[in-house]
Amino acid sequence: MSTNDPAFWILVVIAASFAVIAVAMVVIMNVARRAVASVRRLEERAEPLFARVQMLGEQVQQITAQVAEMSAHLSTATMHFSETAALIKDEVRDLKEIVGRSAEMARDKVEMISRSIDQTHHQVATTTVFVQTKLVEPAREIAAIMAGIRRGLEVLIAPAPKPVNQTYADDEMFIG
């Protein structure tokens, strides 16, 4: 057959088509293998969905043997992935809500504790000022008055001093 013959070019196009189909099958097989790996990772993360993912894994393994059924299995895998993504989104939304409420409650409690500390500090300061002005200062004044009264009584009750020209027996023994 010569290259000028149209049948030759038809055979070349058919051969190239078979080569493209073979490459596409290899690519599809690689995609299927990647899908199997993704399913295994998802299986580790989502224990409640383990049974579904295991079934999907078996289906993905069958895809490598049955290329003709591959589109149905891939659509099943996509459905499971979207269900899993929806479940994960719901869980994340619930967790965000819980964390938000917890943070708000924590802020409220910190605010309440701060107010309590401020109020306690104010009460302690007020009590200290009250004790200082109502108890300590009057007690000092009374103590000073009592000391003055005691000194005054000591002066009034003390024996009369001896005349200067009289010697004391104790003074004679003093050597100074």
Number of Cβ within 10 Å of residue 61's Cβ equals 15
What are the sequence ranges of the domains in the chain? 6-111
State how far the Cα of 34 lies from the Cα of 50, in Å rounded to an integer: 18
Q: Outline where DSSP puts E strands in the chain.
A: none
Q: Select from 27, 51, 56 the least CA-distant residue to 39.
A: 56
What does the DSSP assignment read for 150-175? HHHHHHHHSPPPPPTTSPPHHHHH--
For residue 24, give both structure tokens.
Answer: 């596409």
Q: Longest Cα pair distance anywhere in the chain, in angstroms?
A: 167
Ordered per-residue pLDDT tens for the chain, 176 residues: 678 888 898 999 999 999 999 999 999 999 999 999 988 887 777 666 556 656 767 876 776 667 556 566 668 878 888 889 888 999 889 989 998 998 899 899 889 998 999 999 999 889 988 888 888 898 899 999 999 999 888 888 877 766 666 655 555 555 55
